[in-house]
Amino acid sequence: MDFEPHRGELLAYCYRMLGSFHEAEDLVQETMLRAWRARDRYDPTRASVRTWLYRIATNVCLTALEGRARRPLPSGLGAPSADPGAPLTPALDIPWLQPFPDARIDPEVRTDLRLALVAAVQVLPARQRAVLLLRAVLNFSAAEVAAQLDTTVAAVNSALQRARVALADVGDAGEVTEPDDPRVRAVIQQYVRAFEAADVPALVRLLTDDAVLEMPPVPLWYRGSRDYGRFLDRVFRTRGTGWRMTRLSANGQPALAAYAPQPDGTHGLHTLQVLTVAGGRVAHNVVFADPGVFEAFDLPEQLAPDDFRRVR
């Protein structure tokens, strides 16, 4: 019995449930181990291998979530800051939401991985979270989900309705264009050029009026192109100009690895930025500075001048 073809979609599912890529990897491994140990008890007349694996994965995730605090983004914890000089003090006691490296799974299983949706799902109770993902994202029937959760179809339908009401303000995933869309690529190219030139007015022109900038594990965040620009002014004043960026994707969204200039002429990895582009403008930028995030994306810590892979 071969479970490997299901690993990618199980990884995406566990990530949506937990909000942590590293934990999702561990939970998928635990799912595979449990399935292997129970393979002789699998009954193909009762469920497909895929449905059976999701039942195991769901139980693994629900156990892992017992007593856990949700994984938020800074914008989910309080009001935005209006002070571009506020101290950038990390809140290391908060289990922050992590991004998902798209290179780890096939494109067809990346649906609904964008950060805003994953962050919103974290607010739901764990079983309600599972119902929403199994029904609305993975398209299992209400009867299949009821069997996976040892509950009734009526309870599944009720949980799904409550989850959809709770997430009504998140918006439709279709509103956000894909990272390979030519229009998105053009916006990201302009953003990179302006950032590498430390051209704050050009960066601000690429933002929506209510653009959001947040920087976990720092709990403060900014809303509006004006405050976004004021903060970038601070960044270039304190960290210097001449940054370099490389392009990748995360959560089905365009992403950039930002490298800050170093005294020896190299550039050191500073942040991973996951951007939301809507209507031809950058509407949201989640800037991650966690070394664990860098590791998940296999990002080099330093780049020499001849290592630069410029966005074209």
For the chain, give the percent of residues with pLDDT over 70.
95
**What is the predicted pLDDT for the residue at 167?**
86
**What is the predicted pLDDT for the residue at 1?**
75
Residue 177 pLDDT greater than 60, yes or no: no
Burial degree of 276 (CB within 10 A; 0-12, 13-18, 19+): buried
d(CA 57, CA 205): 45
Q: What is the mean pLDDT of residues 190-213?
A: 97
Scan for tokens 């500073």, then name that residue. 270
Q: What is the mean pLDDT of residues 232-243?
A: 95
**What is the predicted pLDDT for the residue at 32?**
97
Helix (H) or strand (E) holding 234: helix 225-239
Scan for tokens 């302006």, then name that residue. 194
d(CA 9, CA 140): 14
d(CA 215, CA 204): 18
d(CA 312, CA 4): 36
**What is the predicted pLDDT for the residue at 188?**
97
Beta strands in the chain, from DSSP E residues, in sequence order: 207-215, 218-223, 244-250, 253-261, 267-278, 281-288, 302-303
Phi/psi of residue 236, nearest 5 degrees: -70, -30
3-state secondary structure 191-214: HHHHHHCCCHHHHHHCEEEEEEEE
**What is the predicted pLDDT for the residue at 173?**
42
Q: Are 119 and 73 in contact (CB under 8 A)?
A: yes
Is it true that domain 69-124+171-312 has CATH number 3.10.450.50? Answer: yes
Q: What is the mean pLDDT of residues 261-290?
A: 95
Summarised one tens digit per residue, pLDDT across range 126-176 is: 999 999 999 999 999 999 999 999 999 999 999 999 999 988 866 544 445
d(CA 73, CA 121): 12
* Of 14, 53, 162, 99, nearest in space to 289 by CA: 99
Q: Are 244 and 174 in contact (CB under 8 A)?
A: no
Residue 54 pLDDT greater than 50, yes or no: yes
For the chain, give the percent of residues with pLDDT over 90.
82
Q: Are 213 and 225 in contact (CB under 8 A)?
A: no
**What is the predicted pLDDT for the residue at 107?**
82
d(CA 158, CA 160): 5
**What is the predicted pLDDT for the residue at 310?**
46
Bridge partners, residue 208, by sequence: none
Q: Give SS3 for 19.
A: coil
Residue 202 pLDDT greater than 90, yes or no: yes
Summarised one tens digit per residue, pLDDT across range 88-131 is: 999 999 999 999 999 998 887 777 799 999 999 999 999 999 99
Burial degree of 52 (CB within 10 A; 0-12, 13-18, 19+): buried
Summarised one tens digit per residue, pLDDT across range 219-237 is: 999 999 999 999 999 999 9
**What is the predicted pLDDT for the residue at 244?**
95
**What is the predicted pLDDT for the residue at 80?**
96
Question: Which of 36-50, 171-185, 213-227 is least confident?
Answer: 171-185
